[in-house]
Amino acid sequence: MDVGLLGPGTVTWQLHADPAMWVAGISGLHLQALHPRAVAGVVQNSDFRRDPLGRLRRTASFVGVTSYGPTDRVHAAAARVRGLHRSLRARDAAGRAFRVDDPELLLWVHVAEVHSFVTVVRRAGYALTDAQVDRYYDEQRRTAALVGLREDEVPGSAREVADYFAGVLPGLRRTADSEVVRRFLLRPPLTGPLRHGLGVYEPLVGRLAYALLPPWAIALHGHRPYPAPAATALLRAVRAAALLVPAPVRWSVPEGHVNDAVRRLGRAATPRRALLPS
């Protein structure tokens, strides 16, 4: 039976099925934007202004397939991402060209993403022990390898992640590109019927996700967030409301990866706290 890259016995399998992951993903993008070269690569190569939902959907789908997909689909998706990154170039503030698949940039994107996933979902009320958090980071080394990193060079515990952030902090800053991404994440330029949802999205997802950044990241961005206690309370309220939606309905978006995994492996593989490894 093909359980995919990680399988039901992992922290990832349970955590990534939680509805707070949607806010966590946006928070991760706010965090990633603080790396000047990483955000330049996005702004110079992405069509997010013309297709505001496209990049968000593709990112969410990649996380979904690598978490829940069968092995062949995982490696096919990873090959597509590596191929795309290999073809992209950008220029830094001094005009120097660089490759988007520079390992330094891939590592930043990975660590910022998984840190946001586990810290935001945990803050939303999903209880994890410190040992389970460390196990999650260790599991995610395998997803980092999919995009071209070496597993042994990727932080695999909360302490190693904290040390990594301390090392890269001097090079992080607010830039014109980070402001472009921040404004986009707060209020994507949606058209048609979807634009009517912006009044809900902006305070409950965009601004909330920004407020959930680490304090040092908020200080670098330089914009006032919701007060920390209010952000936590709002996050938990948003999660509680989302949990009222039947799980198979929630898991049908963006491409039903969780539902597909349950059909493939059986109902015993349904993500739930009882499957968390100790």
Q: For 98-141, how does the pLDDT look when each residue is reduced to its tens digit (9 = 90+)?
A: 999 999 999 999 999 999 999 999 999 999 999 999 999 999 99
pLDDT at 47: 74
Q: Tell me if the pTM is above 0.85.
A: yes
Instruction: Give the separation between CA 268 and CA 263, rounded to whole angstroms.
Output: 10
pLDDT at 52: 66
Q: For 161-217, how does the pLDDT look when each residue is reduced to its tens digit (9 = 90+)?
A: 999 999 999 999 999 999 999 999 998 887 778 777 788 999 999 999 999 999 999
Q: For 15-26, how does the pLDDT look when each residue is reduced to its tens digit (9 = 90+)?
A: 999 999 999 999
Ranges of each domain in the chain: 11-268
Question: Average of pLDDT values for 208-231?
Answer: 98
pLDDT at 57: 84
